[in-house]
Amino acid sequence: MLILLSPSKTQDIETLAPTELFSDPIFEEERWHVVRKLKEISRTEVMKLMNISERLVDTHIARTQMWTKRHAPKNSKQAIHLFTGAVYDAFQNEMFTAKQYAYMQKYLRILSGMYGIIRPLDFIQPYRLEMGTRFSFTLKGKEYKNLYTYWASVVTEHICSQKENVVINLASEEYSKVIKRDECSLQFVDVEFLEKQGISLKQVTIYTKRARGSLACWMVKHGCRTVEDIKEYNELGYVFSKRKSNDRKLVFIRKSS
């Protein structure tokens, strides 16, 4: 069973990671092609492309200059401890055993506009490049309209080649749609987190982000191996809804406070 997550814009490279375990990124050559293309664009183009403030542009450019092909402790950090924010709050608040790190390294995958796919212990360098960024470029005579066209085949082939039967999708649509599901024999199961407000059910983005990370972390801590295992999740007040769920979607509901 694979677990998919989105990355986060916020990252902490300064704090020392609680483990010395690490791995090298899977698609380093493909990532470096993207890096080289990003280094070619001007400050003004970066602002327009990423729709960010001048302060964030300066941060991006500073990081760009520091990007290297080789990942090392002085410029990189394990992904699961680099990413911060709502999705990764649960991971930042936990200490993991060697067995739990092994579980997440085998089953957890983070989709990325820069790296394609990241494993939790992969050494990665801080970056800002969302999958939905309209970054077009030409590489070896081939035109790529955006990052989806660049990464789709690579990511899909990797996911579909795994010796697992089920993919639990906890990534946002922006990231998960890079996978061509119709070319994959694995069963994809999406997960929804809903807030009950009176008689209505609503999805609240910030709560959903936090719940996705919480469930992923809970699966690591409990060593989940089947969809039935996941249905036992009851953190943050959420309870599995059998009535709203089906073979392709798991729904968890909680009462709004």
Nearest Cα neighbor of 87 from 106, 103, 107, 108 is 108
pLDDT of residue 257: 66
pLDDT of residue 161: 93
pLDDT of residue 53: 85
Gap between the Cα atoms of 81 and 6, Å rounded? 14
pLDDT of residue 62: 84
Stated as kind and residue range, the H or E segment containing 44 is helix 43-50
At residue 246, φ and ψ (nearest 5 deg) are -150, -170
What does the DSSP assignment read for 107-118? HEEEEETTTEEE
Residue 247, token pair as written in the block: 């073979």
CA dist list (Å): 67 to 23, 72, 76, 118, 125: 18, 11, 9, 17, 7
Helices (H) and strands (E) in the chain, counts: 10, 12
What does the DSSP assignment read for 174-223? HHHTTS-GGG--SEEEEEEEEEEETTEEE--HHHHHHHHHHHHHHHHHHT
Residues 6+ apart with CB under 8 A from 71: 24, 25, 28, 123, 124, 125
The residues spanned by each domain of the chain are: 2-255
Stated as kind and residue range, the H or E segment containing 239 is strand 239-240
Cβ atoms 123, 22 nearer than 8 A:
yes
pLDDT of residue 51: 85
Gap between the Cα atoms of 31 and 79, Å rounded? 15
CA dist list (Å): 123 to 39, 126, 175, 207: 21, 10, 20, 28
The angle at the Cα of 27, spanning 26 to 32, to the nearest 5 degrees, equals 135
Stated as kind and residue range, the H or E segment containing 168 is strand 166-169
Cβ atoms 240, 182 nearer than 8 A:
no
Residue 120, helix vs strand vs coil: coil
Nearest Cα neighbor of 32 from 111, 125, 146, 109 is 125
Mean pLDDT per 10-residue section of the chain, whose length is 257 residues? 96 95 97 94 88 85 86 94 97 94 98 98 95 94 97 97 93 98 96 94 96 98 97 98 97 89
Fill in the DSSP letter of residue 236. Answer: G
